[in-house]
Structure 1
Amino acid sequence: MKIGLIRHFKVKRGYPNSIVSSKELMNWVEEYEASDVEENEVELSGIKWETCYSSSMRRAEVTARRVFKGDVILLDDLREIPLTPLFPSRVKLPLFIHLFAIRMAWWFNHPSQAESKKVVLEKIKRIVDRVISENQDILIVGHGGVMMFMRRELIRRGFSGPSFKRPENGKVYIFEKKKDDSRNHPSRAYIIKF
């Protein structure tokens, strides 16, 4: 059984200015959500992927439909973790401070965040449960943050696969769980001495 994780194609809308207010940051998020993507060739490693799940966000859906020749199953549970600014809307700060504060608030389940870490991890566990129960080679198209947590869950469940800090856009990361071969080996006889 193989699971291929793909981060959506690169979004054409780049990052906002380096100094932004919370309001400008959220305007940029809206532009980013509506932006077209830059398609690239995706190496599927010669695997005949049987099913494809995708985030229901446009950029992921476009990627999934480009790389998978079949029906794509769209899931809201694969959507990107939402950004919720912590600072008043008019205060201008460097972009990295906004993003760092949001990540820390999310990580520590600050009530300002639209979706808690616990909720996101529960969604990922449900998706992995569903995928494993199908016992086939499956592609999952999503977003960088979700992929990092999905990778951890797959490793925790006995899959092996590549490590990444920030997954590349439009690249497949393959995770595999080997079948348990212990049943195919003859039992060993043990001598117990008293």
Structure 2
Amino acid sequence: MRIGLVRHFEVIHSSQKVVTSGEFKEWVRQYDIADVRQIPVDLCYNNWDLCFSSDLQRALQTAQNISKCKIVTTDLLREVPISPILDTNLRLPVPLWLSLGRMAWLFSHHSQPEKRIQTGKRINDFLTQIMSLRESNILLVTHGFLMFIITGFFSIILAEVFRQAVIVKEENDLTI
């Protein structure tokens, strides 16, 4: 099985320098509905049997641009939602709000709409689903932070496959 993992194209979205928590919520809302800057892409491999895309517009636009196969949209590949960690009129840089939100997610802070265990279950459910498919070449179009999480799950799966292969070898090894 070959699995390709692609992040959506660059989002066309005005970036404010410093914002309050309320303005950050609006910034995130606008980012989620923004278009992408489409560019020609050479994936070096384009014989995909099936493409799964996040149902957010930026990922779907990217999938439609780079994939020639059937595209299936799913909310399981959506970016991990992010919210400000507190309501305040204090103005902070957008990258700081983003970093604080991701750290809060890491610790399953109540400010985040999706907890880490929920994200893990969502990704596990999706990967279990695609591993059972007959298609052998699957392209995934998703989002940056979610890609980080998915690659972590892949490394766990690969480690388990390797561990099982070693166990089988040890059981079949008749060397005394």
Per the alignment, residue 91 of structure 1 pairs with 90
State the SS of the aligned residue for 1:46.
coil
State the SS of the aligned residue for 1:106.
helix
Structure 2: 5+ residue stretches without partners: none
Structure 1 position 54 matched with structure 2 position 83? no
* Mapped partners of 1:42, 1:22: distance in 2: 36
| Cα deviation 1:148-189 (Å, max 9, x = unaligned) | 110111121118xxxxxxxxxxxxxxxxx9xx8xx9xxx876
Per the alignment, residue 3 of structure 2 pairs with 3
Per the alignment, residue 151 of structure 2 pairs with 151
Give the RMSD, CA atoms, in angstroms: 2.2
Structure 1: 5+ residue stretches without partners: 160-176
Q: Is the 8 A contact 2:12 2:37 kept in 1?
A: yes
Per the alignment, residue 12 of structure 1 pairs with 12
| Cα deviation 1:55-106 (Å, max 9, x = unaligned) | 0000001111111123211111111111111222422123333222211211
How far did residue 47 of structure 1 move?
A: 4.2
Per the alignment, residue 26 of structure 2 pairs with 27
State the SS of the aligned residue for 2:132.
helix
Q: Is the 8 A contact 2:49 2:70 kept in 1?
A: no
Matches within 5 A, 1:1-194: 1-17=1-17, 19-135=18-134, 136-158=136-158, 190=175, 192=176
Q: Which AA in structure 2 matches 1:97?
A: L
Q: Which AA in structure 2 matches 1:38?
A: R
Aligned length: 166
Percent sequence identity is 33
State the SS of the aligned residue for 1:37.
coil
How far did residue 138 of structure 1 move?
A: 0.2
Q: Is the 8 A contact 2:51 2:70 kept in 1?
A: yes
Query: Highest Rg: 1 or 2?
Result: 1
Per the alignment, residue 168 of structure 1 pairs with none
| Cα deviation 1:24-47 (Å, max 9, x = unaligned) | 111211221222211122222234
Q: Is the 8 A contact 1:51 1:139 kept in 2?
A: yes
Question: Which structure is higher in helix share?
Answer: 2
* Mapped partners of 1:109, 1:31: distance in 2: 24
* Mapped partners of 2:122, 2:150: distance in 1: 10
Q: What is the TM-score when the length of structure 1 is the normalising length?
A: 0.77
* Mapped partners of 1:93, 1:158: distance in 2: 40
